[in-house]
Copies of this chain bind each other. A is one copy, B any other.
Amino acid sequence: MIVTCVKVYVKKEHIDDFIKATIENHRNSVKEPGNLRFDVLQSIQNPAEFTLYEAYRTDGDAAAHKETAHYAVWRDTVASWMDKPREGVPHRVIAPLDEGGW
């Protein structure tokens, strides 16, 4: 399993636009066969900062996400709303290790 935590910095005036586009990305991403989770979170302290929590069964499944049409639409839609580049950090899972925990 691989979990990529992606920190996203959004221009304040586009927070609502970003949320709408990212909910759509979430809805499609969780349908990918290798997806385990695709959580969308907003920082309470700074509402312009978001975290995407993208869990996949394999490295290949995580890579396949970036080949989907919904990813391409999301990426292009939000591009001009970014305040600075996204930061994605891939992780291996320590716990839970059983797939039923995902």
Measured CB to CB, the residues of A under 8 A from B are: 2-3, 5, 19, 22-23, 26-27, 30, 38-45, 50-51, 53, 89-96, 101
Contact = CB atoms under 8 A, between A and B. Distances in A.
* Secondary structure call for the A interface: strand
Q: From A22, A44, A91, A93, name the one whose CB has the most chain B CB atoms within 10 angstroms.
A: A91
A22 B39 CA distance: 22
A50 B42 CA distance: 20
So how many copies of this chain end up in the complex?
2
A7 B38 CA distance: 19
Given A19-B94, A23-B95, A42-B91, 19 more contacts: A3-B39, A3-B41, A5-B5, A5-B51, A22-B94, A26-B94, A26-B96, A30-B96, A39-B93, A39-B95, A41-B92, A41-B93, A42-B94, A43-B89, A43-B90, A43-B91, A45-B89, A50-B94, A53-B53
